[in-house]
Amino acid sequence: MTINVGVPGIGDPGRLIRWLEASGVPDAARLSGIELIAGGRSNLTYRLDFGSGDSAGGEYPHRLVLRRPPLGHVLPTAHDMSREYRVLSALSGGRVPVPAPVGFCADTAIIGAPFYVMAYVEGLALRTKEDGEKITSLQASQISECLAQTLAAIHLVDVAAVGLDGFGRPEGYLARQLKRWQRQWDLSATRELPEFTRLVKRLADRPPEEGEGTLVHGDFRLDNLLIGLEPEPRVAAVVDWEMSTLGDPLADLGLTLSYWTDPGDTQRLGIELSGAVTSRDGFLSSAGFTARYAELTGRDVSGIGYYTAFGCFKLAVVLESIHARFLQNKTVGEGFDQAGSGVPILVERANRMLDDLA
């Protein structure tokens, strides 16, 4: 069987095959294809195809998925594969749908970085305007409800019961996040942006009172969900848990809203994100989504403006780090060339939101 060789981020497939065999993956030797799954802008995600298309049975599906950190310079505390694998293992089989974990590898000699393997889940990732055209207005409405229910379910996870005690420190979460992401900016910044410095100071000067700590996804948005459409829309899996921890659940909601585009919004970030889909007919507005989340959780969302500004700040840092890797020629795939253009837009948007709170 011939397999594509020299896949960026994978190296010699033979080493991966031997690791899969040692990990007990059935038919690991029949690995016949490795394909980068487009869409992710941070950790790299690959589909592993086994055999010629007929499943040989066994515990694992005919396809698996491999996740590894991005190429090039990796920021401190970022892209921790073991944490992502731990949360998948904790949630597997519970109310929050996640891909079944298969195995984790800390040995960088296998593919050049730590990685983990999980089950392949069929589902539609809604990211672009064209993706949005694949669903009806009724399905868009139903997906909005699924999105709100799933975010609420994450925040209602019994952390102790699933073994995630110590996964994070909810106390002081926002202050630590602000310091962490400011440091990430300092390590990644490709330009001077005085308005970013002003934004950091404003966020530090007026933090909200701390509430209940919960499990947080850290990057909860529409295209980090795989959607099944039959017989009716459902969330098949929540993916990309690399930023998950224990913290303030409203920070999750605020980040979700920082991606959201309402009908009539014209400002774009220069990179394909799920906001292009949420503006289509049938989706809840950002205000409607916030209200539905509040109904499901009973949480006070009156201060969500701060959290949305915080989400814009965090997303700006993420895009700047992607932009830095692009300039270093360390990105794999397409669509990275415009990431940097979204940074000043997000910073301006966050400052405007804080103006509205004054």
Instruction: Name which residue leads in pLDDT, 20 or 6.
Output: 20
**Among 84, 82, 76, which residue's Cα sits nearest to residue 40?**
84
Report the pLDDT value the prediction gives residue 212, as an integer from 0 to 100: 86
For residue 55, pLDDT over 50 is answered with no
Type of residue found at 276 = A
Confidence band (pLDDT; 50, 70, 90) for 142?
very high
Q: How confident is the model at residue 5 (pLDDT cuts 50, 70, 90)?
A: low
pLDDT-above-90 percentage for the chain: 66
What is the distance between the alpha carbons of residues 92 and 98, in angstroms, rounded to a whole number? 6
The reported pLDDT for the residue numbered 332 is 57
- Cis? peptide before 231, omega within 30° of 0: yes
Residue in the structure block whose two tokens are 């000067």: 205
What is the three-state SS of the chain?
A: CCCCCCECCCECHHHHHHHHHHCCCCCHHHEEEEEECCCCCCCEEEEEEECCCCCCCCCCCCEEEEEECCCCCCCCCCCCHHHHHHHHHHHCCCCCCCCCEEEEECCCCCCCCCEEEEECCCCECCCCHHHHCCCCHHHHHHHHHHHHHHHHHHHCCCCCCCCCCCCCCCCCHHHHHHHHHHHHHHHHCCCCCHHHHHHHHHHHHCCCCCCCCEEECCCCCHHHEEEECCCCCEEEEECCCCCCEEECHHHHHHHHHHHCCCCCCCCCCCCCCCHHHHCCCCCCCHHHHHHHHHHHHCCCCCCHHHHHHHHHHHHHHHHHHHHHHHHCCCCCCCCCCCHHHHHHHHHHHHHHHHHHHC
Q: What's the chain's average pLDDT?
A: 88
Residue 164's pLDDT band (cuts 50, 70, 90): very high
For the chain, which domains are there? 13-119 (3.30.200.20), 129-357 (3.90.1200.10)
Q: Tokens 């889909």 sit at which residue?
A: 277
- Looking at residues 284-308, what average pLDDT do you find? 96
Residue pointed to by tokens 């220069």? 270
pLDDT score for 72: 59
- pLDDT on residue 27: 86
Q: How far is CA 150 from CA 42, 146, 233, 292, 308, in A?
A: 23, 6, 13, 12, 19
Q: What is the mean pLDDT of residues 124-150?
A: 94
Residue 2, phi then psi, degrees to nearest 5: -95, 135
What is the model's pTM?
0.89
CB–CB of 175/203 below 8 Å? Answer: no
Rounded average pLDDT over 176-194? 91
User: Highest mean pLDDT range out of 30-39, 271-280, 314-323?
Assistant: 314-323
Structure tokens at 275: 């906001």
The per-residue pLDDT for 296 is 98
User: How far from 202 is each of 127, 257, 305, 351, 352, CA to CA, in Å?
Assistant: 31, 19, 13, 8, 11
In this structure, the number of other CB atoms found within 10 A of the CB of residue 54 comes to: 8
pLDDT band, very low/low/confident/very high, at 57 (cuts 50, 70, 90): very low
Q: Is the pLDDT of residue 283 over 90?
A: yes
pLDDT of 273 > 60? The answer is no
